[in-house]
Structure 1
Amino acid sequence: MIEPVAFFRSPFSTKFGIPRQSGIVEDLGGRIVFEPSFRNPDAVRGMEGFDYLWLVWGFSENPDTHNVTARPPLLGGNMQMGVFATRSSYRPNGLALSSVRIERIDIDTPCGPVVHVLGADLMDGTPIYDIKPYLPYVDCHAGARGGFTDANPWQTLHVVVPEEFASCFHTAELETLKKVLSLDPRPRYHDDASRVYGMPYSGKDIRFTVDGDVLRVVGVEDLQH
C-alpha cells in the first residue's frame, strides 16, 4: 500500500482539457503541496539545484483496468495498441509519470515547503506518490525513437478568443489558455461544429466550438463554488 506524499494544485478542476502529456504547455503552472508528515524544509533540501522533477502520481479519477490494449488519442482513438506501448490513463495500477520544470520553491508557507512547477498534466487534487530529480545525463536520450508518435505529430488548432472574453484574463494566463485549447481538448471521435463544449479552467467555465481547424471561444463565466 502506498500513500501520497503530496497533492497537486492545478487550474483544472476536471480531467477535460488537461494537456495529454507533460511539457506540451510549458507555461502551465501548478503547485506541489506536501502532506503534513513531509512539511519539513529538509524534505526538499537540495531541490533548488535542479531544473526539472519526475512526479510519480495516480490517475485518481480513473478506475484501474486490466485491459491489454488502449486507443491512443494521437491515432484518432480508433486504433488499438498494447497498453504498455502507450501512455493511456487507464492502466493496471493507475500510476503515471510526468516531468515538470521547477519555477520556484517557497520554503516557509502555512503548508510548509510548496514547489511551484510548470508544464504539468495533473488535475487539481491529484495524489503524488513520489518525487525525484530529473538527471540530464541519464534521463535524456538524444535521437531516441518515439514509436507511432514519430509518424503522427499532434495537429493543433487555431484558437480565436474575442476581445470580450480575452479581457477576462491576464495576458500570461490568456496565452497559456490558448495553448491548452490549441491541443484540442475534445475526444478524438467528436466532430460536430455546432456543439458547444465547456472546460473548467482557473475558476472559469470556458465555452467553445470547433469547426475544422478553428476553435472559437464563445463564452467565459465564473464557476459557482
Structure 2
Amino acid sequence: MPASPCSHVTLTPIGHIESDYPDKFGVPRQPGLADAARARLVLTAPFDDPLTVRGLEAFSHLWVTFLFHLSPERWTPLVRPPRLGGNARIGVFASRSTHRPNRLGQSLVELEGIDTDDAGVCLRLRSVDLVDGTPVLDIKPYLPWAESRPEARAGFAPEPPPRLPVRINRAAQATLDARPDADSLRALIQQVLAQDPRPAYRKGAEERVYGVRLRDVDVRFRALANTDDQGEGETLLEVVEIVVV
C-alpha cells in the first residue's frame, strides 16, 4: 500500500509560552480551572509581525494549539485518566492525556491584551494550563456560537472536578505577605491546590509533604483530615511552607 501523502508532516512553532507554571506537576488538567494563572505567548520570527494579530484584540478567548514538550514521545493505545482514579483504562483518543501520538494539545484561554513594539508581538493570557516554555503551533479565535454546545455529552467527565479546601499556615502566610504579588500568588496557590494535584495512586499517603512550583516559589503542602462537628469531612490541603527557588 502506498504511503499517505501526509505520512510526514513538519510543524514549525510560532512562539512559546512564559507562564506561572515552571513545571508540569500541579498544572490544572484543563484550562479555566485556575483563573489567577497568567501567561505570555511570545511570537517568534517571522510570525512576530504585528500584521499577524491585526483584529485579534476584538476576541476575548483563543484556542492555542501546542506541543506537550515535557511528555515522552512514546504513546500507548490505552491510558489511565486521573479523573477515573488512575486505575481504569480507556482509549487514548477518548482522553485528553498528554501521552498521545504527536503530543499535540489544545487549550482555550482568555486574551487579556496584545503588546506590539520593536521587540515583536506578545499576547497576555489568563486562565491557562500551559507549562513555561511550551512551544505553540497555532492560535485561533474562539467563536462561542459555533463551539459552545450545551447539549454535548462529556463522557466520563460530565462535571468540573471537585475542589478541596485549602489552608495556608502562619509561616507560609508570612512569606506571602512579604511579596509584592501576594494577592495574585495567594489566589493562584489556592486555585491550583484546590484541584488536588497529588497523583491519584498516592492519595493514601496522607503524611507526605508534596511540592508544586508556581512562579518563583516551591509551595509545599500536605493533606489533612478536615473533620466537621459530626467527625466526618473531606480532605483539606494545608500549605506548610513557601520557599523561593
Please say whether Structure 1 and Structure 2 have the same fold, judged by a TM-score greater than 0.5: yes
Q: Which runs of 4+ in 1 moved over 3 A?
A: none
What residue number does 1:6 align with?
Answer: 15
Aligned to 1:179: 191
Per-residue CA deviation, residues 58-104 of structure 1 (Å, 9 max, x unaligned), is: 01011123411111101100000111111011001100000000011
- The structure whose Rg is larger is 2
Long gaps (5+) in structure 2: 1-9, 226-234
How much has 1:136 moved relative to structure 2?
1.1
Distance (whole Å) between structure 1 residues aligned to residue 142 and residue 151 of structure 2: 18
Aligned length: 221
1:55 to 61, 64, 75: 64
Residues 100-179 of structure 1 correspond to what in structure 2 (within 5 A)?
100-108=109-117, 110=119, 112-150=120-158, 154-167=161-174, 168=176, 169=179, 170-179=182-191
Counterpart CA distance in 1 for 2:70 and 2:238 is 28
* TM-score between both structures, scaled by the size of structure 2: 0.86
The answer as to whether partners of 2:171 and 2:241 remain within 8 angstroms in 1 is no
Q: CA RMSD in A?
A: 1.4
Q: Look up the match of 1:218.
A: 240
Query: Is 1:198 aligned with 2:220?
Result: no
2: CA distance, partners of 1:153 / 1:23 = 10
User: 3-state DSSP class of the match of 1:43?
Assistant: helix
Q: Which residue of 1 aligns with 2:232?
A: none
Asked whether the equivalents of residues 164 and 195 of structure 2 are also in contact (C-alpha less than 8 Å), the reply is yes
* Structure 1: distance between partners of 2:243 and 2:106: 33
Q: CA deviation at 1:193?
A: 1.4
Distance 1:209 1:56, change over 3 A: same
Unaligned runs of 5+ in 1: none
1:38 correspondence with 2:47: yes
Normalization by structure 1: what TM-score? 0.94
